[in-house]
Structures are given as C-alpha cells and as structure tokens.
Structure 1
Amino acid sequence: MRRLGGLLGSRAGISTSKSLTALDEPAALQDAMASAAHIMNDDVELAEAELSKGSSPFHKLGLSTALFLRAVLGFEKEVMEKAHACLTDAEEVASEHQRRAVRDPSKAHQSKIYSAGAEYALCHAESQLMSAVVAVLNESLTESLKGFYKLRKAFATLHDISEQERRYLGRTGRGVGSSQTSVVTPGSGRETPVMSSGVLTPADSGEEEEDDFVDAKESGSAPGTPPPTYRGGPAERDMEKLSLEDTVTNRSNGGTPPTNTPIESDSALAQADQEIDFRTITSDPIDLFIHSGTALCFGLLQVLLSMIPPAFARLLSLFSFRGDREAGLRMLWSASKFKHNINGAMAGLITLGFYNGAVAFCDILSPGAVPHTRLRNLLREMRELYPGSKLWLLEEARMLGADRQVEKAIAVVDQGQSSGLKQVNALRMFERSLNCMYAHRYEECAQGFIECVGMNSWSHGMYYYLAGSCYVELYRLHKGRDPKLAEGYAAKAEEYLHTVPLHVGKKGFMGKQLPFDTFVGRKIKKWDYRAEKWGCKMVDAVGVSPVEEMAYFWSGFRRRNVEQLRTSLERLAWSEDVKANPHWERESADEKATLAMLRATCFRFLGEIPKAKATITEGVFSHDLAEVKACDHPDTWALPVAHYELAVCYWDEAGGQGGDRAMLQKCSDSLLKVERWESYELEARVGLKITTGRETLRKCGISSP
C-alpha cells in the first residue's frame, strides 16, 4: 500500500514534527475551533494569526478554511494561490498524523466509533475538498482536472468514515428495524440501497494504489489483510436515522444503479430533524468533530456536484460522480446542528447561501421547497453566535429580495460598519448594486459596480458592462427632456462600455473564458458594428434594454414588486417608440425576440399568464433559430429560454403541484424542448431552474419522454 501524500510533493519538515498524543488532541482541537470561530465573525486576520501559532492538523485545517473562504468569496487569483498552498500543507500534515496513528494506535485517540486516525483522515479529506474547489475555480483546465481527482479521493475517505458510523450504530442496536434507506434483496442476503444519495463510489475505489484512509479493523479480518472497501454489501439496518445518506450503488450482485430519486427540501429538513442526535451517541469532542465534519463535507460535495453545469457533465462522468442536491441539503441541515464549531457554522452558511441564492429564485417548485421559517430561525441563530459577520446581512437581504422587498434589501445591506474581510465588503457592494438595478436606481447601480472594480478582481468586464448599461438607460430617460444631461450620460455609457473589451478574456474557468465575459464581449462588438452600419453613436445602436436583459439572468424579475415590474415594461417599450428610437424599423429578429421574451416575463410575474403566453408565441416563436442566427452578432438565448418561460406559465396555469395533469404535461413538454436545445450563451444561468423544474415535475408523477 503506497503512502498517502506521495503525489503531493515533498514533506520536508513534516515528518520531524511532533505528533499529537491522545491527551494533546482535545486541547488542540478546542484551541483550533476557538480560533477558527473568528472566521465566522469576519475577523479572518485574527483567526489566521491565532491558527498560525499551532501546528496541529486542526490548526492547519482552520487556517486553510480562512483562506478558502477568502478565495471563494472574492475569486481573486492571488488569494486562490495562497489558499492552494496552505491547503496542500494541511493535506500533508493531516496525512502524516493519520499514518502515525495507524502505525501506533496505542498513542492515538481512542474512539468507540472510529478507527485510529479518523480525525486526521477527515482533516485531510476536508482539505482535499476545499483544494478541489479552488482548483476548479482556477483558470487552468489541468488544475481543474486535478481538482476533480481530489474530489474523488476525498469522497473515498469520507465514505470509509461514514461506514464506521453505520457499523457502530448497528453493533449498538441504534435504529434497528429501519427499512427506509436500505432493503434486503430477496435471495441475495445483501442490502440494496433504495434512496441513494446520488454520489457514486468511483468504480475502482477499492483498487487504488494509494489508500487515503485505513479503515477500522473488523474482528474477522486476518492480520495484514487490507481493509475492504464498501461496495454496497452487508450493512446494519440502522440507516434510516444516520446523518449520512446511502452513498454507494450496489454493484456486487449485478444490480443496476438506483434511480436518483430526489426528495423535497422540506422533506430533507424533516428527515434531518428525525435523525439521531449524535450527541446522544457520544460526548467525545473528537468524535463529534468527525461526525459533523463528515456530514458537512458529504453535503457540500453533493450540492456542488448537483450544480455543475451540463456542459461539464461529460467530464464528471470520467470520475464516476453525480450529485444529489436534496440529499446534500439534508446532510448540511444535519451538520448545521453543530453550529458552535466551524463545521456546523460552515454548514449553516452554505445552507443559507444555497437556498437564498439559488433555490428561492427557481420558478417550478413544490410547496414548502424553501423552508422559510427554518431558514429565518437558522439565520437568527447564526447572527446570535457570530454577531460580527456581515454575511448574515447579505443573507437577510436575499430573503427580502425573494419576498419582493428590494428597497428593504438595500437598506439591510447598508446596515452596520464595513466588514473586516474585504471580500465580504465586495459582496455587499455587488449585492447592493444588483438590487439597485432591480429597483431602477440606475445611477447608484452604476456607481456601485464601478466601486466593485476596485474591490474585486474577478470580472471587471462585467462590472463595466453593467455600469455602462445603466448609463444607457439614463441616457434614454433624459434624451427627450434634458439633452445636455443625456449627452453626459451617453458619454459615460460609451466610456464604460468601450472599457469592457480591455478586461474580457483575462479570467477563465476550467480553461475557458468566463460565460459573462463571452456574452458582454460579443454585445460590445454587436453595438459597435451597428453604430458603424447605421451611422450613429454607439449608445444609439444599443438594442433592447441591456439592464432588463441582465436583470433576467440574475433573477431580478422575481425580486421586483408590481410597481417595479410595470416600470420594466415602460423601459422595454422604449425600443418600439419610433420617436425615441428611430432605428426600430430596421431592428433585427434577435432583438425583437429578446424584447418579447423579457416582456412576457414581466407579464408572468404580474400574474397575467394568458398575456405572457401570447407574447411568447407571437413575439418569440414567430422567429425561427435560422433567422435569428442570420443576424449580425446574434443573441440566440431568447428562443430556448422562452420555452422555459412557457413551461413556467403552464405550471402557474395548472395551479402548481397537484394541479391539472394535462397542463402539467404541457409544462413538461416545454421544459423538454429547452433541455434538448443546443448550447447557448449563459445557459448555466437558467440551468439550475430547469433542473429544479424537471425534478419537481418528476415528483408530481410527470415524466419526460
């Protein structure tokens, strides 16, 4: 068996470091967790300073978590590089401590549940998981591939730990008699999972030359025999109440992978509530750390995998992974019960972020898919425990946005002093600027995005584009009543829009240009081409309101109240006003389709479903794809997305889940058309909505052909 970490480079200095004894561990863990708590209060500098004083795997993990949070909040290259180096160090230290614990278990922490060194194996897996996320965010495809390999390795370790929990619960008779998550296949004597988490065990996980984690010895194992890797074989019948979903597919008896049956978010929450409180199983702080960390990592892993854009599905298949969002959320809810330690706190933050930033803005949802009351309670608890963090203000603002109270959301983001974490301040400014865009506060929106340029280095091209688009809107508003002021806005619009090409293409994701960079770069080329062709200023060659277009991709229409939606209709009407816009008669088919799509969306959110459907049919589907593609620098996204909008109209018309079956089938048919559509710009922005819609329909018993 090759030693773990052989592919991670030199371990100079680590092999001579002092290994923690069983007596040292609890104190080291407590110190590291107390220091890491500062992370959740936005005092990352203090956390880093205190964690740097310790050399234990727990301190290394905490320090890595601080840098990881900086990296994923800001997407800044230099921070990601620093986080990567720190995470690599944490991996190496954890694996060295784990090897020592296995070699001499008598000096290691003694657990009734886990084998010697399990706590270090978890630290290693957590470091690998965070390192994988950083690698995937890297601009290099090679680094991204390495990241997916680390995900695979982290999964194998986490799976081994969770299996030890299962075996322990089985031996102690906890949950005996449960049959919800596993059943015995007749005649085989083996259990087959019936509610899989959806994360598949890598096909050759039991044949790796490197073992990330040495499993606990079973009483019947022969000395020197390598521990078996779980393959869906015999397991205790206690799985219903375990805090981890069944994570493997039973391949041992020739069975096929189980259908990935999603469960509703409120159902996932209910299951998390019904699980055994692990604190009644053990009071050992090391064991509780292992349990909460495993739930956090498995939950995060599954949610991340479920959100990978369809374009990367083929890549993921190489690593035998697929995600189950609902199972992942259930595990995150379970982990959030331990919010007093960094594992639970991170789980709470991730849970709030996923619901408030993604699920809440989906359109085809089952009743209770977003557990509003529990989310508010979780947010309140997190604010009480970590009052210094401004991240909770962001989450509260997102909740208000989902409730169509954009003005209140802006006020909440403005509360309090600046965060000690500059990445959080950048997020606050970005969120505020988006909300100003939804509220039609264009000057504030533009100024906010320009400020973002100085606060964050991720996508300056997008920031300049959004600012320039706001000035286009201001130019249009004042052109007829204050020409001098309008010219000032026109100059700013062209200045910022022509700055966009200088910044696009400098950032990447998995070796490719960022989708928004591709989109805004093409738009500038289109408008410059039209200006030259039409003999006008660039600002007069801009087509359908780019602000309204951006609002759609950021789910802004769902955040707007009735008055704001009617204002959007007024802004869209500008395009067809031949007095204000003399170029309408020569406007291209793609712009006309985009106008109709955005207008239909406004009608839908105003509750005018028949009007929305008619607008889509007459204004969008009257143009075929070939006609749209023939336009200069065409916008092709409106056609496929219109099928999604029509599906939502059918869903609303049916009355949602439990409504008219024929109408729900029409919803499914429309959704199928966009699912089968060729690749188009910014498809990932609606991809989660489409996936959620399909899952919801499946729960209703409406399947696609």
Structure 2
Amino acid sequence: MKRMGGWLSSKTTLPATKSLTALDEPAALQDALKSAALIMNDENERAENELSKGTSPFHKLGRATTFFLRATLGFEKEMMEQTSACLSEAEESASEHHRRATRDPTTAHQSKIYPTGSEYALCQAETQLMSAVIGVLNESLTESLRGFYKLRRAFATLHTIVEAENRYLDKHFSSASSSRTSTATEKSKGPYGSEEASAASSGVMTPTSADDEDIEFKDAEEGLADQPTPGQYQGHLDLPVENLSINGSTKGDLDSKSSVEEPPPYAAGISRAASKMDNLNFTADVSNDPIDVYIHSGVSLCYGLLQLILSMVPPAFSRILSILSFRGDRENGLRLLWRATAFKDNINGALASAITLGFHNAAVALCDIHSRESYPKDRLRVLLQDTKKLYPKSVMWLLEDARMAMGSRDLEKGADILINNPLKSPLKQVEALRLFETCTALMCLHRYEECATSFIKCVDMNSWSPGLYLYIAGSCHVELYRQAVLKDDATRAETHKKKATELLGKVTSYAGKKKLMARQLPLDVFIVRKLTKWTARSKAANTDLVDAIGVSPVEEMIYFWSGFRRMRPEHVELSLNSLAWSESQHQKSDSEPIDERAILAVLKATCLRTLNRLPEAQTTLQEQVYCYDWHALKACPHADNWPLPVAHYEHAVCLWQEAGGQDGEREVLRKCSEELGKVEKWESFDLDARIGLKVTTARETLRRVGV
C-alpha cells in the first residue's frame, strides 16, 4: 500500500479480515466514503451493495446510514426496525474496534491530534445519534428513553474528541487562536476553550463528574442530469490541500467569491473561543491525514447537529431536556455545520449541506420573527448549486430548490419545480416527500382539486399519516363545495359535497395508528377531534356533515404549515375569500360557538398582518379574540383551544413588524417579547409544538438583539 501525505492509491484492496490494522484503516475509510457518497446521489441501493462488501466499522456505518435516511424520510415502521438492527451491528463493530485500539494502540491509526481510536469512537457516536432519532420516532416510550440515553452518550464522546482537537490547536496554533479570550480560568477546558467559554459557546452543559466514565470512551461496549457519479471518492483524500479551506475559500484567493463564503453575520456574536478554527485551513494548516479529516468533518457535523436540534425544541420540552443537562446553542450548531459543508464531497460534509439547507429552507424561512442575517440567501444558493454539481441525480436538492423559491413567495415556481422537473428518485421515500411538498404548495395556491388529488396519492406512497392526507383532501372538496354554492351551481356543489363526505368519513379509520413516544401524533389527535366536533354539530342541527363544518379547515392547515409565510398578496386575498364564508355564517347566527369565532378572528388577523395591515390585525385580535375567556373557550363542545395562545403569538409578530424588525424601537420590541412570554407560559394547547418552534426561534432572535 502506498501512502504519502494522506494520499492513497485507488488500487488498494481491502482486507478480508474483520479487524482492521493501522495500515488497513485508510484504505477501508476511503472505500467506505467513496461508496457512501452514492447515498447523496439517490443511489442508495448501489451504495448499500458496495458498502455490504466491506466489513470495517466505516462500511457498516455507511450501510446503516442508507437505512437511516430511508427510515427518517418515510417514517415506516418496518424500515425503522431494519434500521435499528443495522445501527446496532454498526455500533458493536465500532465499539469492538475502539476497545482493541485503546488496549493496543499499535493496532490503530496514530493521530497527532486525536486520542487513539477516535475514528471508531466517532463511528459509534454517529450510530448512537441515529439510534436516538429512530428511538424517538419509534412507537415505544421505552425505545424513546433509550434514544435519549444514547444521545447523551454520543454527546460525551463528541465532547471528548473536540476537547482533544482544541488542546492540539492551543498548543500548535496559539497565534491563530490568540484572538480568543484568555482571561478565563484555565483549570478546566471545555470543547472550545475555558470552562466558562465552553458553557457560553457550546450551549450544552458538560456532564458532571459522575458521568466522567461516559465522557471517556470506556462505555463503548454499550444540475447536471447527465453527469455521472464520480467513480471514486473525490474528497480530501485525493485533492490538493492548497485548494481547500475550512471556510470553503481558495487559498491565495480569499477576496474572490468562493463556493462557500465566510461565516454569516449571525455567527458574530458567538463566544470568540468558538472561532479559533475560522483562521485556519484544516487540511492545509492542521492535517491532511484522511482519518483526521474524517474525524474533524464528522465531529463538526454531529456536534453541530446535536446543538442545533437541542436549540429548536419547544419551550416545555426544552425544560425537560435541561434537567438531563442538555441545552442547545443555535449559533454554534450552525457554525459547526457550515464548517462541515466545506467537506461536502465526503458523506459528512454532504449530510451537513443537506441539513443546513433543510434547516434554513424548512424552518428559518417559515418563522415569522428572525433576524435578517439568519437566512443567508446568497450563501445558501451557492451551497445548493455546489451540492447539485457533486450529486446531480439527487431529488433532495430539487426539493431545496423548490423550498427556496417558495420561501421567496414564488409558490408557482416552487410547484412547477416539484411537478414538472423530469428528475425522479428511485427511493419511494424521497418521491413521497416530493409529493407532500407539492401538496402543501398547491394548498397555499388554493388549487383545491389538484391539492386533493395529490394528497390522496400520498395515502398510497407513505404510511406516516394517511388520516391527515385524507382530511386535507376532504377539506379541499369542502372549499370547492362552498364555491359552487356561492355560484348557485347545484350539480357541482352536490358532487363536491359527496366527495368531501366520502373522504372525511375515512379519516378516523386511518388516523391514530401511528405513535410518537407512545403517544398519538398531535395532528392525528387534532383532526380526529375536529371530525368528532363536526359530527356532533351535524347531529345537533340535523344537517349534513359538510354543512356543519365551521371555519375553513384548509386555512387552518395553511396556518399550521406556515403557508402564509410563502404567500404573496394575491394568495392571501384568496384566503380572505375563504374565510368570508364563515364570517357570513356567523352573521346569520348568534349561536356559533365562541371557539369558532376566535379561530376566524386569528386567521383573519394573520391574513391582515401578512398584508402589512397591522392596525387592523391588532384590532381584530384585541376585539375578537382577547374578549373571550380561556376557560370559556375550553368549555365549548370538542373545543379548539388554540386561538387564544396563538393570538398572543400573532400579536407578537405584529409588534415585530411594527417595530421594523431587529433594529426597531426597543419599547415595541419589548412588548413583542412580553407577548411571546405569555405563549411560553401557556398550558398545553392544540398543536402547541408547532407554535413552540416558532416561539423558540423568536425568543432566540430577541435575545440576540438584546431584548
């Protein structure tokens, strides 16, 4: 085997033995990374076949990753069970190799940066992170709790590896990291410097001394469509280091536009201790050893993702996690993920790219209160173009293209990308996700017939929540029925009424079968309660089910799927037209339940706020929602209990817009914060986790701007 400066001959063959030697490791890693790269090109079957030929922990981890992506994209129980088995095998293999490496260091790769066996410890941590996700998605509460335990163990491992990297950088690159604060005590250094700096930057509490054995590794036993996928791994193993940078810039050409630009402004407020790597090019300045590069990119991916996820949990759940010594830091998590995207040509960097794009396009872009810098549009677009060139067959990048278009309020373009692009994924889970994104775009466009047809197709493509798909499809026909009634088209009205009744009648038989942490899915609970409410109303009024439905259920769904963030004024006007039906019904009857009246007011206020008619929106909330008592709302038959707390959130958004955003009048922003505080302290309500994610982002934003 030939090895010089991290370069490996592509002709090197893998050993047939189960245990790797120090000389075997680089070849096994390169082969596994080359095969794993196929995953990001929607070639999972080919990747699985190639990875199955190897017996190293790297191959087993790669194979487990193929199963994991299918499981998390499709939420199918059978695939989750297969994934759990595959992850267990990969974890055991990594654990065995790590034990061997620590007992006899001569059998493993010797890094100048990381403890012996860190590459296997990282493999184990990655399997534990994926196992934690599968555990939470599992229908068993026991498996969910085991998942949280694995999450904690993975953090301990990652913490230790990052500590080792920081010690090395402090020792050998003190000038590059001299900008870091040096006044803090040096008695106990965390992952980014001093103990105090660590707490401020990582956002995740360091486990206490009682968990020291966990921190050590001692518990290890537990757009170019016709462009071919590269024939071999194209990553840092074979690329000249002078062309690579941790920030993605080209050495010697830092002023030119790079494939990944400098860290965005939102990272500026982070502890200086966390930024020591920003002045270094890892492969050129620190190490071009392929195993070191694998560890560095993998830890950046996993540690960044862990902190990002923990920073996103709703307030109530966040308090529970804090008891377990977990606390997220969004800025640091994003900083690490962006750092990992510099290695997008290996599986770690490619996954970091997918996560970074997905987070910004499916989370940040749909939040109402966030800073200008939190969505670096140009940088994201460059990252997307780079990943599309590397992995031209993947539909995942097509989804991100559509999401970026819709995030810019171009729903038509987003829908067109999803519907008419000829690129298809061989993975049914990816195509199911594409179809669902299409459905939500059509829903926001109020293209009811197409939306209903697409949601019905979802029932056959994905088993996660078929009741929800049928509910929205039926609700679309309710809207078509109402439109036909307004136009005095009796024949068409009867057709859509019959179709709506048929689809809604199937909902309860499909809903409630899937569970998350041993509980029914919140949306399933929501739609079953709505059907029960409408059924009771139809019996009491001796009328058909469709005629007993209150405020537009489609507009409700648009709200809870953050659709108004994607709409232009002409789309919002269509929503106001839909709400006008309910408004006319309320005017005809004084017996309309107050929860229905409150729903109408919140949705109408949201439309007005989206149109920037802020005084009208706030007046609507004040006079038509706050006038109701919380207990009176809950006392309604099969009550919708969400309008009042959500009204306070909408009021906060109005105040944010009124202030002019982050640089606005402090007093108005303070009032915005007060409204958010009311939502944070509210007791449980319908779909509170969906609002909770927005509240968490809003709170983080206000905190960053000093409110």
Place the TM-score, normalised by the shorter chain, in its bin. 0.7 to 0.9
CA contact (8 A) 2:246 2:278 kept: no
2: CA distance, partners of 1:701 / 1:309: 21
Aligned to 1:434: 440
1:625, distance to aligned residue in structure 2 (A): 1.0
CA–CA distance in 2 between the matches of 1:352 and 1:186?
A: 37
- Structure 2 counterpart of 1:193: 196
Q: Which residue of 2 aligns with 1:672?
A: 677
Match of residue 493 from structure 2: 486
Q: Which residue matches 1:76?
A: 76
Structure 1 residue 177: Cα displacement: 5.5
Aligned to 2:237: none
Deviates more, 1:192-201 or 1:613-622: 192-201
Structure 1 residue aligned with 2:293: 288
Q: Amino acid of the residue matched to residue 619 of structure 2?
A: A
**Shift of residue 139, structure 1, vs aligned partner:** 1.0
How far 1:242 moved relative to its partner?
A: 10
Equivalent of 2:454, from 438, 448, 454? 448
Q: Specify which of 691, 694, 705 is matched with residue 689 of structure 1.
A: 694
- Which has the larger displacement, 447-456 or 275-284? 275-284
Which residue pairs with 1:171 in the alignment? 171
* 1:468–1:493 CA contact under 8 A, matched in 2: yes
Residue deviations 1:523-545 (CA, integer Å, cap 9, x gap): 00000000000110000000000
Give the distance between the partners of 1:47 and 1:461, measured in 2 at CA. 34
1:560 corresponding residue in structure 2: 567
Give the counterpart of 1:420 among 426, 431, 437. Answer: 426
Residue type of the alignment partner of 1:137? L
Which of 603, 606, 627 is 1:601 aligned to? Answer: 606
Q: Which residue pairs with 1:264 in the alignment?
A: 266
Out of 371, 379, 384, the residue aligned to residue 384 of structure 2 is 379
Alpha carbons of 1:319 and 1:154: their partners in 2 closer, same or farther (altered >3 Å)?
same
Kindly provide the amino acid, as one letter, of the partner of residue 694 in structure 2. Answer: K
Q: 1:47 to 1:400 in 2, by over 3 A?
A: same
In the TM superposition, 1:13-92 aligns within 5 A as 18-92=18-92
2:7 match? none
Distance 1:139 1:314, change over 3 A: farther
User: Which position in structure 1 is the counterpart of 2:149?
Assistant: 149
1:523 aligned residue (507, 530, 536) = 530
Give the conservation status (yes or no) of the 8 Å contact 2:350–2:387.
yes
The residue number in structure 2 matching 1:613 is 618
- Contact kept in structure 2, 1:400 and 1:406, CA below 8 Å: yes
The 1-side partners of 2:305 and 2:392 are apart by 24
Q: Counterpart in 1 of 2:282?
A: 278
TM-score (norm 1): 0.87
Q: Which residue number in structure 2 is paired with residue 103 of structure 1?
A: 103
Q: Helix, strand or coil for the counterpart of 1:196? A: helix
User: Would you say the 8 A contact 1:332–1:351 is kept in 2?
Assistant: yes
Deviations, residues 68-90 of structure 1 (Å, cap 9, x unaligned): 11111111111111111000000
What letter matches 2:196 in structure 1?
P
| Greater share of residues in helix | 2
CA distance in 1, matches of 2:395, 2:631: 49
CA contact (8 A) 1:166 1:242 kept: no
Tell me which residue corresponds to 1:641. Answer: 646
Q: How does 1:642-657 map to 2 (within 5 A)?
A: 642-657=647-662
Where in structure 2 are the equivalents of 1:356-375 lying within 5 Å?
Answer: 356-375=361-380
Rounded to whole Å, the distance in 1 between the matches of 2:635 and 2:650 is: 24
Deviation of the 1:27 alpha carbon: 1.2
Tell me by how many angstroms 1:154 deviates: 0.7
Q: Which digits, 9 at most, give the CA deviation of each residue in 1:451-494, with x for residues without a partner?
A: 11111111111111111111111111112432111111111111
Which secondary structure does the structure 2 equivalent of 1:119 belong to?
A: helix
Q: Distance in 1 between matches of 2:551 and 2:573?
A: 16
CA drift at 1:274: 3.0
Equivalent residues of 2:102, 2:117 under 8 A apart: yes
- 1:348-389 Cα shifts (integer Å, max 9, x gaps): 000000010001111111222110010000000010000000
Range moving further from structure 2, 191-200 or 79-88:
191-200
Change (3 A) 1:321 1:175: farther
The alpha carbon displacement at 1:156 in A equals 1.0
Q: 1:329 to 1:532 in 2, by over 3 A?
A: same
**Which whole-Å CA distance do the structure 2 matches of 1:699 and 1:652 have between them?**
17
Per-residue Cα deviation, 1:139-174 (whole angstroms, up to 9, x for no partner): 111100000000111111111111111111122134
The answer to whether the 8 A contact 1:102-1:214 is kept is: no
Distance 1:204 1:397 in 2: 48
For 1:282 and 1:111, how far apart are their aligned partners in 2? 9
Q: Which amino acid aligns with 1:35?
A: S
Contact kept, 8 Å, 1:132 with 1:150, in 2: the verdict is yes
Which AA in structure 1 matches 2:282? F
- Secondary structure of the corresponding residue to residue 568 of structure 1: helix
Q: CA RMSD in A?
A: 2.4
How far apart are 1:25 and its partner, in Å?
1.2
Aligned AA (2:461) = M
The answer to whether 1:538 aligns with 2:541 is: no
Percent sequence identity over aligned pairs: 57
Taking structure 1 as reference, are residues 50 and 614 closer, same or farther at Cα in structure 2, changes over 3 Å only? same
Any conservation in 2 of the 1:90–1:127 contact (CA below 8 Å)?
Answer: yes
1:506 to 503, 506, 513: 513
TM-score by length of 2: 0.87
Cα 1:339–1:488 shift into 2, 3 Å: same
Contact 1:305 1:322 in 2 (8 A): yes
Aligned to 1:460: 466
- C-alpha contact (below 8 Å) 1:461/1:501 kept by paired residues: yes
| 1:646 counterpart letter in structure 2 | H
Name the stretch that deviates more: 669-678 or 308-317: 308-317
Q: Is the 8 A contact 2:345 2:390 kept in 1?
A: yes
Structure 1: state its 5+ residue gaps. 1-15, 216-240, 244-261
Change (3 A) 1:205 1:336: farther
- Displacement of 1:656: 1.3
Q: Does 1:625 align with 2:630?
A: yes
Amino acid at match of 1:535: N
2:242 corresponds in structure 1 to: none
Cα 1:107–1:612, aligned 2, differ >3 Å: closer, same or farther? same
Alignment of 1:568-587 (within 5 A): 568-578=575-585, 584-587=589-592
Aligned length: 642
How far residue 582 of structure 1 moved from its aligned partner, in angstroms, is 8.7
Distance 1:607 1:676, change over 3 A: same
Question: How far is 1:266 from its partner?
Answer: 7.2
Partners of 1:182 and 1:676 in 2: how far apart?
39
What is the CA-CA distance between 1:205 and the residue it aligns to? 5.4
Q: Determine the structure 2 residue equivalent to 1:298.
A: 303
Q: Quick one: which amino acid aligns to residue 448 of structure 2?
A: Y
Post-superposition Cα deviations, 1:572-621, rounded to whole Å, max 9, x if no partner, equal 0111224xx89644211001111010011111111111111111111111
Shift of 1:59: 0.3
Structure 1 contact 397–410 (Cα < 8 Å) conserved: yes
Question: What is the letter of the counterpart of residue 160 of structure 1?
Answer: T
Provide the C-alpha distance between the structure 2 equivalents of 1:308 and 1:618, rounded to a whole number of angstroms: 32
Shifted more, 146-155 versus 98-107: the winner is 98-107
2:177–2:279 contact (8 Å) kept in structure 1: no
Q: Is the 8 A contact 2:467 2:509 kept in 1?
A: yes
Which has the larger displacement, 262-271 or 542-551?
Answer: 262-271
8 A Cα contact 2:308 2:333, kept in partner: yes
Structure 1 residues 634 and 73 mapped into 2: Cα distance closer, same or farther (>3 Å)? same
Instruction: Letter of the 1:460 partner, please give it.
Output: P
Pair 1:181–1:517, CA change in 2 (3 A): farther
Distance 1:275 1:75 in 2: 41
Letter in structure 1 aligned against 2:281: D
SS at match of 2:372: coil
Distance 1:210 1:662, change over 3 A: closer
Deviation of 1:212 (Å): 2.8
Q: Distance in 1 between matches of 2:157 and 2:532?
A: 49
CA distance in 2, matches of 1:78, 1:406: 35
- What's the offset of the Cα at 1:275? 4.3
Equivalent residues of 1:436, 1:442 under 8 A apart: yes
